[in-house]
Structure 1
Amino acid sequence: MTQWDEEVDLLVVGTGAAALSAAIAAADEGLEVLVVEGSDKWGGSTGMSGGGCWLPTHPGMKEIGVDDSEDKVLTYLDACVGTPAEVGPASSLERRQAFVRTAPVVHRWLADHGMVWQTAKKYPDYYPDLPGGIAGGRTVEPAPFNAKRFGDFYQQARFSMPAGVPLFAGDTYLLARAWSTPSGMVGGARFVFRALGGAVTGRRLTGLGASLTARLMWIAKEEQGTEVRLSTPLVDLVVEGGAVVGAVVDGPEGRRAIRTRNGVHLGAGGFDHNAAWREEYQGLGVEHSSGNPYNTGSVIEIGMRHGAEVALMDDAWWGPSVAPTSHGGPVFIVSERSMPFSIVVDQEGSRYVNESTSYVDFGHAMQERGLERTNHSWMVLDVRHRRRYLNNAFLASRKAMFEEGVAVEADTLEALAEKMGVDKATFKATIQRFNSFARSGKDLDFGRGKDAYDHYYGDPTHGPNPNLGEIAKGPFVAIKIVLGDLGTKGGLLTDEHARVLSTSGEVIEGLYAAGNCSAAVVGRTYPGAGSTLGPALVFGYLAGTHAARRGGAVPMDDAAVEPAADVAVEAG
């Protein structure tokens, strides 16, 4: 018989979107919730992210005149993800329906809690031309949050940018061309005024994923009074009669056994930095991951120890990254490879992908080309690219990049090919063919610049194709590109209520999971911006509300939360 040190209704493991969504939902239903975080920083992968959330059919879409429906979204998922039969149980029809039906509920629910959403009306789905795809509106972003409201507690937050930089993910495509296009200059000015507005009013406004975690943490900790313990990792689950009845955690006060009346929810991230697992499941190391360094898959392993099934362990939220240097990195790249006057080639000097495609598809193309480990690619830049567009990699470590061979420069393409170590004849032919596409505006090999997603990160002032520009004016620069990721997407297999399933397909009573420690509902692809965070919020919410119903706090057949009235979107 376990000797319990304390007792709560729901124990939530993690402090990212999936965890805090579950904690807030359960507390809304009257449950006593305890949140534990294994690291000394709160916010998880969410705090390091862009903060966008893919929430199809959300109420803000009507405000911008975009029609959406459950059927349209399910049709789109079939088209870009594959059918449930093709993808497997992680992306079952029941899980897809649960996500699509609950997404607008979560949008309204969090708005009712004070979350101020901005609809990314120009951010298209990643496959806008497929059946059910749309050219903008399904992604939402949280408005900046004043971090000063937390006091010293915000010093323990995990974030990609410090408070005082209130950046929207939707700003990035404009800032990338801030000094070369009218829309970029307007977008840059708006960002500057937003930052200055916060400073002159004494606020420290957050941006990107930090805005999302800050608002969620404020709701849970400050408004609902939920206790949050940092440096308190989950050690094990306590299972009796096949059901999870508690957990063992470590922490500053030592090891403690916590009884849970309603269950345990796992929302503690993937296995981004578990070298042994990355080798076993994916055949590569951890050195090129941009994921949360604390994500080691510990909660997945604990679940497996108690008979949980896993899925999609060989996959990740892949994407091309600039190789790391001694000064930092890797640097995940998006807009840089999509702007004109750039091309990506492999070590043979050949193109193999639409450079403007979604990062997951780019990553899969690198794997198919055999570039997942020791081999690399080169992103070649005409001087016009460097003068007109922002390159985040150079902001991080320009000097080190050239000193350590991550970047090379030459006045001619022939000399550049020599420094890159690629076949000169192949490289010359590749550039000539590519330049002919740039002049005609049609990429006959890979279709770069064919749809609204490609154009989102292109240059609207450049023609005939906003994504294609000749590689013709030097000096030229080539940057070493490797296969990176934003985190892993495989993990515990769950059902439509976010309940963890066993290897025999049965529900493990009292155990829930959402976020990157669970297998992704979107399978092996990435339908739109925020396809990690949108499902994390939704399945966290479903876990919290189901746990309340499981324990009898509300009847099992009650709707979790009635949609609240729409809330006006404004800077906060």
Structure 2
Amino acid sequence: MAVPEKDTYDVVVVGSGAAAFATALGAIDEGLSVIMVESTDQWGGNTSMSGGGLWLPNNPLMKREGAGDSREEALEYMNEVIGNPGPASSPERIEAFVDSIDDFVTTAERHGMEFMRDTDYPDYYPEKPGGKIGRAIEGMNFDVKKLGEWAASQRGVVPLPVRTNDIWLLGRAWSTPGGFVRGAQFVFRTIGGLARGKKLVGLGGALAAQYAYAVLVKGNAELVLDTPAVGLVVEGERVVGVRVKSGSSERVLRANKGVMLGGGGFESNQEWRQKYQNVTGYTSGNPGNLGKPIEFAQEIGAAVDYMDDAWWGGSLQPYDDKPAGGFLVGERSLPYMMIVDGQGKRFANEAESYIDLGHHMNDHDRGGDYWMITSGTYNKRYFRTFSIQPGLMKGMEEKGYLHKAQTIEELAGKIGVDRASLRATVERFNGFARSGRDQDFNKGDSAYDRYYGDPTVRPNPCLGPLEKGPFTAYKMVAGDLGTKGGVVTDTDARVLREDGSVIEGLYASGNNTATVMGHTYPGPGSTIAPASVFGLIAARHMAKAPSTN
């Protein structure tokens, strides 16, 4: 659709990721008219590009399967790992998130969305009080042919029926029996879908597609692409609409009930990255996320927080003009590899949650480059997902971001690291691998570390000696999945001013808000889950709000 059909709706939503779609889904459920405006020519946002997980403790799927979680344990865990760094992560907001999970899942299911549990996936700190395994869910593989004309404009979808637990098993498809079996299952799943005339997708692509099917195909919502919001409309003390650029002109979309800002963070705005985070943003996020919704809210007095933070993680150094080369997740937990700094020394647990590794990379002050070093054993045993990106390996090698050598000393010379220092680090690491205990950084101690490890390697599935060449070094940078700072909202997802008062009529969810998860990452799907839950919370609140019309 090129232009909005009308000028007035109950709900106007900025963005087209999980936060935006969940708000639209809630509006449909409440019988409200809704329009979504997307600034780019593709819908789905970071959600469609992501792994598609939603970290939802004590969710209905767990209850149906008797998985053994509770509200009390969920709150205990979240308060333990998040703390209370600011109003966005207050105990009240955490409770609002946990207490609205049932409503989100059952509402989505009522509108035809289907989920499955990631039963083996641990919380990122499962040993903490209240920590669990199996709290995440994801959308079932989905046939995007059901979307009709909308399928062609979905952002970043992987055209394969991949599931979250495929990733870690496929990584060892030719080194462990479980990996081989999963590889075979994945092949048959893919062939089966094609044989039935379906175009199945998985991960974030499946979740976003299910949202779109429920909201755009089955529901009565509108979505317009290439229609950037350029400002908010305020009458008195209340936000009553959004100014959008439609073609070469501007128009106002009025909102009887409320405006939702669900337009993503500012990971692709390098000026803001320097201003707020003092970094060059090597992001795997949406190139359309420039922080505009945050800017519009600030213009009318909204408070912001966590602007210095992001959903960090180690990433391969990009070799071209793209912002990211490859976000590393499971590859870091496998044995026979380690990560070193410019001095040839380890500085963190390679297998720790990606946000913790990103924080450690940003905070580490020894200088120099970071390198992921793998042995010949690693290269032979494990499938590296990043290796299938067209041109990546060749491009990195041509740029000097990937080096190979038969010995550790030769590799040290190629990456500009002191030979004796790197050799000493390798020898110490190899000793830990043989004993099974990483005495420096505890790699492999946590169930989260071991989730991506190799169970056939003993005594520690995350530790293996770097003894056999050829050795490979990949240059790493602190990348991210998006920024996590933005406007501050209350328990109803209403945007707040610096003094804590509510900006009436304005709601926000997702990465253009200061996240309820604070400066950490409690479990898989800690971005999409609160985006979805608070999107639905906002729609419920809008339905009860007085109408401006």
Does residue 27 of the first structure (1) align with residue 25 of the second (2)? no
Does residue 109 of the first structure (1) align with residue 103 of the second (2)? no
Does residue 120 of the first structure (1) align with residue 118 of the second (2)? yes
Secondary structure of the residue that 2:474 maps to in structure 1? strand
2:3 corresponds in structure 1 to none
Secondary structure of the residue that 1:231 maps to in structure 2? coil
1:11 corresponds in structure 2 to 12
1:159 to partner: Cα distance: 2.2
The whole-number CA distance in structure 2 between the counterparts of 1:297 and 1:370 is 29
The whole-number CA distance in structure 1 between the counterparts of 2:368 and 2:411 is 18
Secondary structure of the residue that 1:250 maps to in structure 2? strand
The whole-number CA distance in structure 2 between the counterparts of 1:220 and 1:266 is 17
1:324 corresponds in structure 2 to 318
Structure 2 residue corresponding to 1:268, chosen from 259, 263, 285:
263
The whole-number CA distance in structure 2 between the counterparts of 1:258 and 1:359 is 40
Task: Deviation per CA, 1:106-147: give whole Å up to 9, x if none.
Answer: 11211121111110000000000000001x211001001111
1:253 to partner: Cα distance: 6.6
2:235 corresponds in structure 1 to 240
1:291 corresponds in structure 2 to 285
Secondary structure of the residue that 1:319 maps to in structure 2? strand
The whole-number CA distance in structure 2 between the counterparts of 1:49 and 1:496 is 26
The whole-number CA distance in structure 2 between the counterparts of 1:412 and 1:30 is 67
Secondary structure of the residue that 1:477 maps to in structure 2? strand
5+ residue gaps in structure 1? 554-572
2:407 corresponds in structure 1 to 412
The 5-angstrom pairing of residues 423-438 of structure 1 reads 423-438=418-433
1:401 to partner: Cα distance: 1.7
The whole-number CA distance in structure 1 between the counterparts of 2:192 and 2:308 is 45
1:297 to partner: Cα distance: 0.2
Secondary structure of the residue that 2:189 maps to in structure 1? helix
Structure 2 contact 79–91 (Cα < 8 Å) conserved: no
The whole-number CA distance in structure 2 between the counterparts of 1:42 and 1:511 is 22
Does residue 541 of the first structure (1) align with residue 542 of the second (2)? no
Task: Deviation per CA, 1:275-294: give whole Å up to 9, x if none.
Answer: 111001000123x1111111
Structure 2 residue corresponding to 1:144, chosen from 134, 141, 154:
141
Structure 2 contact 55–525 (Cα < 8 Å) conserved: yes
The 5-angstrom pairing of residues 518-529 of structure 1 reads 518-529=513-524
Structure 1 contact 347–376 (Cα < 8 Å) conserved: yes
Structure 2 contact 174–381 (Cα < 8 Å) conserved: yes
5+ residue gaps in structure 2? 1-5
1:239 to partner: Cα distance: 0.8
The whole-number CA distance in structure 2 between the counterparts of 1:402 and 1:167 is 29
Q: State the identity %.
A: 48
1:392 to partner: Cα distance: 2.6
1:152 to partner: Cα distance: 2.7
2:206 corresponds in structure 1 to 211
Q: Quick one: which amino acid aligns to residue 66 of structure 1? A: A
1:567 corresponds in structure 2 to none
Task: Deviation per CA, 1:303-354: give whole Å up to 9, x if none.
Answer: 0001100000000000000101138542100111110000100010000000
The whole-number CA distance in structure 1 between the counterparts of 2:438 and 2:113 is 42
Does residue 309 of the first structure (1) align with residue 310 of the second (2)? no
1:503 to partner: Cα distance: 1.8
Secondary structure of the residue that 2:246 maps to in structure 1? coil
The whole-number CA distance in structure 1 between the counterparts of 2:438 and 2:272 is 39
1:93 to partner: Cα distance: 1.1
Task: Deviation per CA, 1:367-416: give whole Å up to 9, x if none.
Answer: 12138xx8421111010111111223322212122121111011111101
The whole-number CA distance in structure 2 between the counterparts of 1:253 and 1:263 is 26
Task: Deviation per CA, 1:199-228: give whole Å up to 9, x if none.
Answer: 000000111101111111111111112111
Task: Deviation per CA, 1:430-472: give whole Å up to 9, x if none.
Answer: 1111000000000001000001100000001111100000000
Structure 1 contact 265–511 (Cα < 8 Å) conserved: yes
The whole-number CA distance in structure 2 between the counterparts of 1:259 and 1:210 is 31
The whole-number CA distance in structure 1 between the counterparts of 2:529 and 2:353 is 17
Secondary structure of the residue that 2:240 maps to in structure 1? strand
Secondary structure of the residue that 2:283 maps to in structure 1? coil
2:381 corresponds in structure 1 to 388
Secondary structure of the residue that 1:60 maps to in structure 2? helix
The whole-number CA distance in structure 2 between the counterparts of 1:22 and 1:483 is 32
The whole-number CA distance in structure 2 between the counterparts of 1:254 and 1:192 is 49
Structure 2 contact 337–464 (Cα < 8 Å) conserved: yes
Structure 2 contact 28–220 (Cα < 8 Å) conserved: no
Q: Quick one: which amino acid aligns to residue 99 of structure 1? A: F
Q: Quick one: which amino acid aligns to residue 306 of structure 1? A: I
Secondary structure of the residue that 1:128 maps to in structure 2? coil
Structure 1 contact 55–107 (Cα < 8 Å) conserved: no
The whole-number CA distance in structure 2 between the counterparts of 1:368 and 1:233 is 36
Q: Quick one: which amino acid aligns to residue 140 of structure 1? A: I
1:566 corresponds in structure 2 to none
1:247 to partner: Cα distance: 1.5
The count of corresponding residues between Structure 1 and Structure 2 is 540
Structure 1 contact 160–209 (Cα < 8 Å) conserved: yes
TM-score by length of 2: 0.96
Structure 2 contact 348–441 (Cα < 8 Å) conserved: yes
1:105 to partner: Cα distance: 2.0
Structure 2 contact 33–220 (Cα < 8 Å) conserved: no
1:475 to partner: Cα distance: 0.9
The whole-number CA distance in structure 1 between the counterparts of 2:493 and 2:242 is 18
Secondary structure of the residue that 2:516 maps to in structure 1? coil
The whole-number CA distance in structure 2 between the counterparts of 1:526 and 1:155 is 33
Structure 1 residue corresponding to 2:151, chosen from 154, 157, 163:
154
* Range moving further from structure 2, 361-370 or 267-276: 361-370
Structure 2 residue corresponding to 1:379, chosen from 372, 376, 380:
372
The whole-number CA distance in structure 1 between the counterparts of 2:65 and 2:426 is 42
Secondary structure of the residue that 2:350 maps to in structure 1? coil
Structure 2 contact 147–212 (Cα < 8 Å) conserved: no
Task: Deviation per CA, 1:502-546: give whole Å up to 9, x if none.
Answer: 122100000000000011100000000000011011000001111
Structure 1 contact 55–104 (Cα < 8 Å) conserved: no
1:254 to partner: Cα distance: 2.7
1:499 to partner: Cα distance: 0.2
The 5-angstrom pairing of residues 79-90 of structure 1 reads 79-82=80-83, 84=84, 87-90=85-88
TM-score by length of 1: 0.93
The 5-angstrom pairing of residues 505-524 of structure 1 reads 505-524=500-519
Q: Quick one: which amino acid aligns to residue 284 of structure 2? A: S
Task: Deviation per CA, 1:32-51: give whole Å up to 9, x if none.
Answer: 11111111100011000000
Q: Quick one: which amino acid aligns to residue 107 of structure 1? A: V
